[in-house]
Chain A
Amino acid sequence: DVKVTQSSRYLVKRTGEKVFLECVQDMDHENMFWYRQDPGLGLRLIYFSYDVKMKEKGDIPEGYSVSREKKERFSLILESASTNQTSMYLCASTTGGVYEQYFGPGTRLTVT
């Protein structure tokens, strides 16, 4: 079974703090994604990566950066957290080609 894990289920941070969200997958998937999910807006893509050290901006990259130094790990960084970044963050991975996308359990981040 594919497993996608995220470093925290719940996180509370203060405005201005640097925040790291980590995602690890154990199936050697090439593609990894970071989404945020907000009520009424659905899932929105922040960044994705289709190979080690490769990254592409999604629909809402502002205020975020990412790092992929190893194939199994994709990190999302909030350089200076703001209250409008309070959200559910979901990581996903997939192989290339037409295959399923596997999701992590999500991290509910609250910025106060």
Chain B
Amino acid sequence: KNEVEQSPQNLTAQEGEFITINCSYSVGISALHWLQQHPGGGIVSLFMLSSGKKKHGRLIATINIQEKHSSLHITASHPRDSAVYICAVRSGNQFYFGTGTSLTVIP
């Protein structure tokens, strides 16, 4: 059972490109999180959303509660954005995770 589905699984982009990563979920949620994990590194939280849209620097996250869908956008991508991006949803005391999108940005 996959409560959270992400696409694409892998993504390669040229520096400067606009990037979109998608997340769909099937459970009722109180919040959706976008996480970033660099190779060998821990996981950091980028956004927590329960409605609408949030922006932080070149990163934008949106959520459509009715459609149970969220997107993470990266504008003017840079090689340092290369990482795995994970979508997670909170349902009660439980968190459900997507399998991640591995992003590589080529200079």
Question: Which residues does A use to contact B, with CB under 8 Å?
Answer: 31, 33, 35, 40-45, 48, 50, 56, 90, 92, 96, 98-106
Interchain CB contact under 8 A, A103 and B44:
yes
- Inter-chain contacts of B44 with A (CB < 8 A): 103
Cβ-defined partner of A103 (8 Å) among B42, B48, B93, B94:
B42
Q: Mark B67-105, 1 if CB is under 8 A from A, else 0.
A: 000000000000000000010101001110111100000
Cβ-defined partner of B93 (8 Å) among A31, A35, A104, A106:
A31
- Inter-chain contacts of B90 with A (CB < 8 A): 98, 101
A-B contacts counted at CB < 8 A amount to 51
- Inter-chain contacts of B42 with A (CB < 8 A): 90, 103-106
